[in-house]
């Protein structure tokens, strides 16, 4: 079962912290929803820095990041 993080409406660094917590104890994939380009890029960079693969889908004004091992 995947972990889901809804970080929409939150400003950085909260989405990054929430995503990092989810990754640390998660069943993969981890899905993170954000609503700003800054949050999207910060979460993506953090996950890739930790060695995970990230796919990004734009859904209207929001972004869905799927983090996998």
Number of domains in the chain: 1
CATH code for the domain of 42: 3.30.110.40
Q: What is the pLDDT of residues 13-46, one digit of tens each?
A: 999 999 999 999 878 999 999 999 999 999 999 9
Average pLDDT estimate for 2-19: 95
The answer to whether residue 57 scores a pLDDT higher than 80 is: yes
| Beta-bridge partner residues of 34 | 63
* Domain span holding position 20: 3-68
The answer to whether residue 63 scores a pLDDT higher than 90 is: yes
The 10 Å CB-count burial string (b at 16+, else e) for 43-68 is bbebbeeeebebeeeeeeeebebbbe
pLDDT of residue 40: 98
How many contiguous H segments (helices) and E segments (strands) does the chain have? 2, 4
């Amino acid at each position: 079962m995947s972990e889901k993080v809804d970080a929409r409406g939150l400003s950085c660094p909260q989405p990054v912290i929430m995503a990092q917590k989810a990754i640390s104890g998660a069943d993969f994939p981890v899905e993170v929803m954000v609503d700003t380009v800054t949050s999207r890029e910060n979460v993506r960079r953090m996950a890739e820095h930790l060695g995970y693969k990230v796919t990004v889908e734009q859904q209207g004004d929001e972004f869905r990041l799927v983090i996998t091992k």
